[in-house]
């Protein structure tokens, strides 16, 4: 490898570190500093607010269901895309990536147009049968599912492609049925890919803001998630509470990425 | 019993595999059916509804909505700032990737983890985080909140990882022998960078730039608190869509949203072309 001269190397290092420090590291550190400026007082005071408790609980519930649905859907689609042939496979494979680059605002609006109870395509029919989607948890779960949809698939598909189906064919020729092959051979071999996908989906689901804001109605104490709470707190000049709630959300997401970055190399060695 | 039945069922299935267009079993067909139904209800039908709503008012209404002075200003601001931020990312992102791969220093692993923070951080938190350093009472004296600079600032934050993460693996795979051969044949450092390293990185940089541009166009959450959403100054297109929704004008919201959707689809197609180009070059 060709070495660059020492001054150039220092210059590049300085540019990279300086940029990341000013843009990410320092601001994130300031949030932590603001949250703990009075010790744990701000944090515990914020956490004792019933509205904040409700918002955090709601975020946890929505994220749980969205991650569960996306994991089951993601593993199913990945298996179908890698192991089976069917008409329209290429199109489906291309469409799966669409949610990743669609704006959360567009996601929220699209769901609103189909599922709102007055003028939506399906909304009035569903509401006549007692299922309110928009301004209720189903829409919030759907919006979260939409934005995090490809994350599990993008982790699982490369692994499934790489391991091939030799072991599965061996199991089948030794008399294992489809279910046994799936549970004993296929799923254990993609375990880590699924775990990465779940962790990344969790971080994305906990943090969803724009799409949920549109479909939830943002009613305090009812459909207000933690990210919506942060906006409301900041706009009501409850800056300390906004920092504390943000800190909790940031902690969850940063723990998620640290977990993934710690797990990844370990898996490569084994 | 079940084993014998499965084997008997499996044999014709295996034989069929050679010619037929599908090798779905009854169980996997059911799975495909459920998955495609869910995907349609969640993604395809809602996006179709968006396009239908935008088209519902007719072409004249569509053009009128998009050429509204305030909407046009928001579109120009978003596209312009997205290009600026993408250009910054191409330069800085490649530099960071180079530092992460080729340089050795204490704390490099921490830098590597920090790069991922903008991916993971909730967007509303990203906005709040930037307010602590660039808002009122900034420790640096840079009060950029609610000014024109707030838009590129937020966009640069949320798009930071894209170019870094696409360029980094390609740089790691780059063959050092070729560079040494070039150097031993008398090529200078600048020549090696321009003729050897840059062409190999170009597809990855292009892919990262496309992702970063798409993300910048789509961004909403980080701008809500930071930019102040001042029409003609800091109002981006996603904020414009939201104010149409809040005003009950879903047709106008859908019209503007189709432009954002089109950009997203163009980027996906462009990425596919870049990947095809890389595959052809081997």
Domain positions in chain A: 49-269
Nearest to B3 among A2, A106, A177 (CB): A177
Is the confidence at residue B7, as pLDDT, over 50? no
Q: Give the range among A104-108, A178-182, A196-200, A260-264 with minimum mean pLDDT.
A: A260-264
- Does the distance separating the beta carbons of A94 and B122 come in below 8 Å? no
Topology adopted by domain A49-269? MetI-like fold (1.10.3720)
Which pLDDT does position B3 carry in this prediction? 42
Domain CATH code at residue B239? 1.10.3720.10
pLDDT tens sequence across B88-145: 999 999 999 999 998 888 888 889 989 989 988 999 999 999 999 998 888 888 889 8
- Does the distance separating the beta carbons of B111 and A27 come in below 8 Å? no
User: Which of the four pLDDT bands, split at 50, 70 and 90, describes residue B20?
Assistant: low
- Please give the torsion angle defined by the CA atoms of residues B204, B207, B213 and B219, in that order, rounded to the nearest 10 degrees: -100
Hey, of B43, B52, B142, which one would you mutate to test binding to chain A, going by the most A CBs within 10 A of its CB? B43
Domain shared by B36 and B117, yes or no: no
Chain B residue at shortest CA distance from A261: B113
Compute the average pLDDT of residues B159-180: 89
Domain shared by B135 and B248, yes or no: yes
Q: How many domains does chain B have?
A: 2
* Rounded Cα distance, B136 and B131, in Å: 7
Chain A residue at shortest CA distance from B182: A2
- Min Cα distance A160 → chain B (Å) is 16
In the predicted model, what is the mean pLDDT of chain B? 87
Domain shared by B119 and B33, yes or no: no
Domain shared by B193 and B179, yes or no: yes
Q: Give the range among A214-223, A257-266, B6-15, B22-31 with minimum mean pLDDT.
A: B6-15
Q: Mind spelling out the 3-state secondary structure of B180-218?
A: HHHHHCCCCHHHHHHHHHHHHHHHHHHHHHHHHHHHHHH
Domain shared by B199 and B273, yes or no: yes
User: Which of the four pLDDT bands, split at 50, 70 and 90, describes residue B168?
Assistant: very high
Domain shared by B79 and B193, yes or no: yes
* Rounded Cα distance, B52 and B54, in Å: 5
Compute the average pLDDT of residues B35-59: 93
Is the confidence at residue B16, as pLDDT, over 80? no
pTM for the whole structure: 0.89
Q: Is residue B9 part of a domain?
A: no
Domain shared by B38 and B131, yes or no: no
pLDDT tens sequence across B194-233: 888 888 898 899 999 999 999 999 999 999 999 988 889 9
Domain shared by B242 and B117, yes or no: yes
Please state the ipTM of this predicted complex: 0.89
Nearest CA among A234, A226, A191 for reference residue A205: A226
- Does the distance separating the beta carbons of B272 and A110 come in below 8 Å? no
pLDDT tens sequence across A13-66: 999 999 999 999 999 999 999 899 888 888 999 999 999 999 999 999 999 999
Domain shared by B104 and B221, yes or no: yes
Which residue segment(s) compose the domain that B46 sits in?
A: 24-56
Domain shared by B180 and B154, yes or no: yes
Which pLDDT does position A265 carry in this prediction? 62
């Amino acid at each position: 490898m060709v070495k660059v001269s020492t001054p150039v190397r220092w210059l590049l290092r300085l540019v990279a570190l300086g940029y990341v420090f000013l843009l990410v590291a320092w601001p994130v550190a300031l949030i932590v500093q603001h949250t703990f400026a009075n010790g744990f007082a701000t944090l515990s005071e914020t956490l004792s607010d019933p509205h904040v408790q409700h918002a955090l609980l709601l975020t946890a519930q929505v994220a749980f269901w969205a991650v569960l649905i996306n994991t089951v859907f993601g593993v199913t689609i990945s298996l179908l895309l890698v192991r089976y042939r069917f008409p329209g496979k290429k199109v489906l494979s291309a469409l799966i990536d669409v949610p990743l680059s669609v704006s959360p605002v567009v996601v929220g609006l699209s769901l609103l147009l189909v599922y709102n109870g007055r003028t939506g395509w399906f909304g009035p029919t569903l509401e006549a049968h007692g299922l309110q989607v928009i301004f209720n948890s189903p829409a919030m779960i759907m919006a979260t599912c939409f934005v995090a949809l490809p994350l599990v698939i993008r982790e699982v598909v490369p692994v499934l492609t790489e391991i091939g189906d030799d072991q599965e064919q061996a199991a089948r020729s030794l008399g294992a049925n489809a279910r046994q092959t799936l549970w004993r051979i296929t799923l254990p071999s993609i375990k880590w890919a699924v775990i990465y996908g779940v962790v990344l989906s969790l971080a994305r689901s906990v943090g969803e803001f724009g799409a949920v804001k549109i479909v939830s109605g943002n009613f305090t104490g009812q459909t207000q998630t933690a990210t919506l709470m942060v906006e409301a707190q900041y706009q009501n000049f409850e800056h300390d509470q906004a920092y504390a709630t943000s800190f909790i959300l940031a902690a969850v997401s940063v723990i998620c990425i640290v977990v993934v970055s710690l797990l990844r190399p370990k898996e490569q060695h084994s | 019993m079940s084993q014998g039945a499965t084997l008997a069922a499996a044999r014709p299935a295996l034989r069929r595999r050679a010619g037929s267009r599908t090798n779905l079993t009854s169980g996997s067909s059911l799975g495909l059916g459920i998955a495609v139904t869910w995907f349609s209800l969640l993604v395809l039908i809602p996006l179709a509804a968006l396009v239908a709503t935008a088209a519902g008012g007719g072409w004249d209404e569509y053009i009128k909505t998009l050429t509204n002075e305030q909407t046009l200003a928001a579109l120009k601001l978003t596209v312009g700032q997205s290009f600026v931020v993408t250009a910054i990312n191409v330069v800085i992102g490649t530099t960071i990737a180079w530092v992460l791969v080729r340089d050795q220093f204490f704390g490099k692993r921490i830098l590597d983890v920090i790069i991922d923070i903008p991916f993971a951080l909730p967007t509303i938190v990203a906005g709040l985080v930037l307010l602590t350093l660039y808002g009122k009472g900034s420790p640096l004296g840079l009060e950029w909140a609610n000014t024109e600079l707030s838009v590129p600032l937020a966009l640069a934050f949320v798009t930071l990882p894209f170019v870094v993460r696409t360029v980094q693996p390609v740089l790691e795979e780059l063959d050092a022998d070729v560079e040494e051969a070039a150097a031993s044949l008398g090529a200078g450092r600048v020549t090696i960078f321009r003729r050897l390293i840059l062409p190999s990185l170009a597809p990855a940089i292009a892919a990262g730039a496309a992702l970063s541009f798409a993300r910048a166009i789509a961004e909403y959450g980080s701008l809500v608190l930071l930019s102040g959403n001042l029409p003609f100054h800091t109002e981006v297109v996603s904020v414009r869509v939201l104010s149409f929704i809040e005003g009950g004008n879903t047709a106008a919201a859908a019209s503007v949203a189709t432009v954002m959707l089109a950009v997203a689809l163009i980027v996906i197609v462009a990425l596919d072309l870049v990947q095809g180009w890389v595959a052809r070059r081997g």
